Structure 1
């Protein structure tokens, strides 16, 4: 028993020496109006830009971003996503998030959503 205690003692020191660092996240809810979609290549794909002053150059390089859309009330689906034959993707740049849509088969023109879509964007601080 004493040998077991002696063997486990260094492990306890290592575990107790670890410091947990918690980085808070921030959730932002944005409504996307049907009129906000713009064509980028003859209506084969559409995009909308969400202003995000919270995304600085440093955050864009080091932080984490999760993007969800709600096509129905209180039902969020993480992007990228295919919904009703439309492919939804996103990219981030300092100061903005761009959501892009196109037909999932890549053919033909895409029709912009006819109803309001709610976006939930979660910004997760990180340090590396």
Structure 2
């Protein structure tokens, strides 16, 4: 009798510990537009930056979450950055409360013009 209780307890313990609980957290997608007036010239026009306010990115999310950024120069076609497009290198950085998009010539030496109006798609990926 004791053996069967012990075997039953062992079976329950093994089965209970093998169950995997999953928590699915949905991503958030935000689409915004940067106009030509959003860009700040740096280095005599060799680079530009534009900031996007993102209150969704707090200190915790900035440390543990994930951010993907895409830009659209044409209607509905998004390209993930970092990216080189028409000789201009696009990159970004995140900090609490904002995303900063940076552009410069692909060789880092030429003077460039900021793009016209572009759509920016931001995907925020939660991490638990």
Q: Which has the larger radius of gyration?
A: 2
CA deviation profile, 1:1-23 (whole Å, cap 9, x unmatched): xxxxxxxxxxxx48960112111
Match of 2:62 in 1: 60
Counterpart of 1:125 in structure 2 is 126
Name the SS of the counterpart of 1:111 in structure 2.
coil
- Secondary structure, in 3 states, of the residue corresponding to 1:58? helix
Matches within 5 A, 1:1-128: 13=15, 17-113=19-115, 115-127=116-128
What SS class does the counterpart of residue 65 from structure 1 fall into? Answer: strand
Change (3 A) 1:72 1:15: farther
Measure, in 2, the Cα distance between the counterparts of 1:16 and 1:81. Answer: 44
Q: 3-state DSSP class of the match of 1:42?
A: helix
Per-residue deviation, 1:65: 0.3
- Of residues 80-89 and 103-112 in structure 1, the stretch that sits farther from structure 2 once superposed is 103-112
C-alpha root-mean-square deviation of aligned residues, in Å? 1.8
Per the normalisation by structure 1, the TM-score is 0.84
Deviations 1:74-127 (A, max 9, x none): 1000000000000000000000000000000111211111x2100000001002
> What is the aligned length?
116
